[in-house]
Amino acid sequence: MKLAYDFSLPCTQQGSIQLADYRGKFILVVNTASRCGFTQQYQGLEQLQRKYKENLVVICCPCNQFAAQEPGSNRDIAQFCQTHYDSTFLLSDKISVRGKDTHPLFAYLQQSLPGILGSTMIKWNFTKFLIDRQGQPIGRFSPRQKPEEIEQVLKQLL
């Protein structure tokens, strides 16, 4: 049986992000965009990362597949996150989260945790997936669900 630990994400800044490096922590994986109506959620994601850093790692995965809301380069995106949110969360390179080029991690997460009415497809930016300390996906949160709602789930799990 596959675990989230079996996957890695491309990351120009550090070579790659190996999910296995975060064994024993909760992992929150989010497809993000810097020109989206939900972009302000970066702030809440950063707050989660700082507040729960001993127990949680937040990985933001920029994606330009939804209304071209992430047009910048990987460097531009990293600079945006640092400038506007003083980011400490992990940031992968831009990836695809749907279609024929879907990154394998997102294919796995979508199959493991279908959305409303059993649909596996990610419908918009800021869809969030929570992975437990054993590498099992345990929660899928819609773009409308704010990081503060995920904090309530984390508090129950800790």
Name the residues annotated as catalytic. 36
CB-CB neighbours of 130 under 10 Å: 22
- The tokens describing 143, both together, are 């773009």
Residue 26's nearest CA partner among 51, 53, 1 is 53
What one-letter code names the amino acid at 15?
Answer: G
Q: What does each C-alpha distance from 29 to 114, 139 come to in angstroms? A: 15, 10
Rounded Cα–Cα distance for residues 27 and 3 (Å) = 12
Burial group, residue 35, by CB count within 10 angstroms (0-12, 13-18, 19+) = middle
**Radius of gyration (Cα) for the chain, nearest Å?**
14
Distance separating alpha carbons of residues 130 and 141, to the nearest angstrom: 8
CA 69, 103, 7 angle in degrees (round to 5)? Answer: 130
